[in-house]
Structure 1
Amino acid sequence: MCGPCQNTLTGRSARRRSLECGRVQHLAHETDGLCAHGCLAAVGYTGQVMDKYTPRLMFQLLLAAFFILCVVVSPSMAQSGLMTGIVYDDRGEPIRGATMRAENPAAYPRTLTTTSDQKGRISLVGLRSGQWHFTVEYPGFQPTSFAMPITAASSSRPPRPVIVRMERIASLILAGPLEGVDVKLLRADLTAADEAYAKGDFDAAITGYSAALTKAPALTSIGLQLGNAYRQKKDTAKAVDAFETVLKADPANGTALYELGEIREGEGQLDVARDFYQKAATADPSWAKPVLQLGILASNQGQTDAAIEQLKKVAIVDPKSAEAVQAESLLQKISR
Structure 2
Amino acid sequence: MKILVTGSAGFIGFHTAKRLLERGDSVVGFDVVNDYYDPTIKEARLTILEEISRRTGSEYVFVREDLADPQAVNTAFETHRPARVVHLAAQAGVRYSLENPLAYVQSNLVAFTNILEACRHHRVEHLTYASTSSVYGANTGMPFSEHDSVDHPLQFYAATKKANELMAHSYSHLYRLPTTGLRFFTVYGPWGRPDMALFLFTKKILAGEPIPVFNHGHHTRDFTYIDDIVEGVIRASDAIATPNPDWRSDNPDPATSNAPYRLFNIGNNDPVKLSAYIEAIEDALGKEAIKELLPLQPGDVPDTYADSSELEKTVGYKPATPVKQGVARFIDWYRFFYKV
| TM-score, scaled to structure 1 | 0.25
Q: Which has the larger radius of gyration?
A: 1
Work out which structure has the larger RCO, using CA pairs closer than 8 Å and 6 or more positions apart in sequence: 2
